[in-house]
Each structure stands twice: as structure tokens, then as C-alpha cells.
Amino acid sequence: MNVPSLIAADMFAEKLLANADRCQDRATAYRDAIDLGMLVRAYQEIPIDALGKAQTAYGSDIQHKIVWVVNKLQDRDELRNAAESLQMDTKAAEAAISALRNEGIRLWPGAGIGPRQ
């Protein structure tokens, strides 16, 4: 079956941009960050060309918003509330954010991603 789909780099780029746009809006339940974490778990890392596309469009805001959201979601209550809003398993959300946190540290080691709590 020939079904059009996005390549991995474009999925990541779209989610990086969406996270930068919406991560500070609690009403979105941090869904873009959780989606990014799930993608990192599936693909092991954010493709460099995806990062390039996103940073070409939004510059350093991509990095700043990843740092902000993974630090925000170190608060277990905040992450649990987000998972409940998204009707997803809390452990899955924790695993996704952990993966995104580790990827953020790999990409931007001096950016201020806080230690695990």
C-alpha cells in the first residue's frame, strides 16, 4: 500500500516547532514534548537535519523551549497531570520526558537542563 507519510526528520522538525510554540501553554498538557520524547525513544536521537530545519526557522528558541519544558516536567505532579489530561499512562509519559531530557543534554550539554529529581 502506498501511503504518503512524513520522513523521521520532518516529524521531528514539526514537533520541535510545535513545542517551541506551545510548551508554555499548560492547556496543551505538554503534548509536543511528550511526542518528541516518544520519537526519540523510537529513533534514538533527533536527526541533525531536523534540528537544522527547526533552528533555521526559530533559532535558539528551539533549545530554550526544550530546556524549559524538560525542567518543568521534572515536577512529577505536573507530568502526572499532563499524562492524565492526555489519557495516557504516567510511566509512558515519564519515559518519554526522560528520553527527551537525555537528548537535550546530549545536544546542548551546557544549556541548563537540571538534574533528575
pLDDT of residue 30: 97
Task: Report the alpha-carbon distance of residue 7 to residue 4 in Å, rounded.
Answer: 10
Mean pLDDT of 108-113: 92
Is the model's pLDDT at 115 over the cut of 80?
Answer: no
In which band, very low, low, confident or very high, does the pLDDT at 76 lie, cut at 50, 70 and 90? very high
In which band, very low, low, confident or very high, does the pLDDT at 117 lie, cut at 50, 70 and 90? low
Task: Report the alpha-carbon distance of residue 21 to residue 52 in Å, rounded.
Answer: 17
Task: Report the alpha-carbon distance of residue 114 to residue 117 in Å, rounded.
Answer: 8
Closest CA to 38 of 12, 57, 14: 12
Cβ–Cβ under 8 Å, residues 101 and 113: yes
Task: Report the alpha-carbon distance of residue 63 to residue 117 in Å, rounded.
Answer: 21
Task: Report the alpha-carbon distance of residue 98 to residue 115 in Å, rounded.
Answer: 11
Mean pLDDT of 84-113: 96
Task: Report the alpha-carbon distance of residue 97 to residue 53 in Å, rounded.
Answer: 22
Type of residue found at 63: Q
Cβ–Cβ under 8 Å, residues 46 and 52: no
Domain residue spans in the chain? 8-107
pLDDT in tens, 2-60: 777 778 999 999 999 999 999 999 999 999 999 999 999 999 999 999 999 999 999 99
